[in-house]
């Protein structure tokens, strides 16, 4: 993951023709409930919504990040809020599914001075283990 974070920002630094915005969010699915791992009161349950542009989680917090280190800090903060439990194989085994999403927006001006925005997402998913 740290190499992925570095690669994203290295690519941004190499492209001076566009402006970029990088945002991160982190959610957990535990006992069929969605929780925001970056929200200070993480017990608030969130809802999955669907609209023309796709599926999204209503009220999920996102943070603007400017460096790979910022991105790693957001990821680490969210990990502290995950549900974990001990197993025979792992003292801190994840008990939930989690999705860490990096949203990358780029804006580029065309010949007429009109901005064109492109959006991409990288979802990093950790599925809960099952000892059954």
Q: CA-CA distance, 117 to 123, in Å (whole number)? A: 20
Write down the pLDDT at residue 55. Answer: 87
What is the value of pTM for the model shown?
0.85
Range of the domain at 77: 2-95
Q: CA-CA distance, 98 to 78, in Å (whole number)? A: 10
pLDDT band at 42 (very low <50, low <70, confident <90, very high): low
CA 34, chain centre distance (Å)? 14
Q: Give the domain CATH number at 38.
A: 3.40.850.10
Per-residue pLDDT, averaged over 70-97, amounts to 76
pLDDT band at 95 (very low <50, low <70, confident <90, very high): confident
Greater model confidence, 83 or 52: 52
Of 67, 62, 69, 72, nearest to 101 by C-alpha is: 62
In a domain, 120, yes or no: no
In a domain, 102, yes or no: no
The residues facing 101 across adjacent strands are 25, 123
In a domain, 114, yes or no: no
């Amino acid at each position: 993951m740290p190499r992925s974070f570095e690669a994203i920002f290295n690519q941004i630094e190499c492209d001076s023709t566009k402006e970029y915005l990088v945002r991160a969010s982190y959610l957990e699915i535990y006992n069929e409930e969605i929780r925001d791992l970056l929200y200070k009161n993480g017990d608030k349950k969130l809802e999955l919504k669907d609209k023309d542009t796709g599926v999204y989680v209503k009220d999920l917090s996102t943070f603007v990040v400017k460096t790979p280190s910022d991105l790693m800090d957001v990821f680490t903060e969210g990990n502290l809020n995950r549900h974990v439990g001990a197993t025979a194989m792992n003292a801190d085994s994840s008990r939930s599914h989690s999705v860490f999403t990096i949203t990358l927006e780029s804006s580029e001006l065309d010949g007429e001075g009109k901005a064109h925005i492109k959006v991409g997402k990288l979802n990093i998913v950790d599925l809960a283990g099952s000892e059954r």
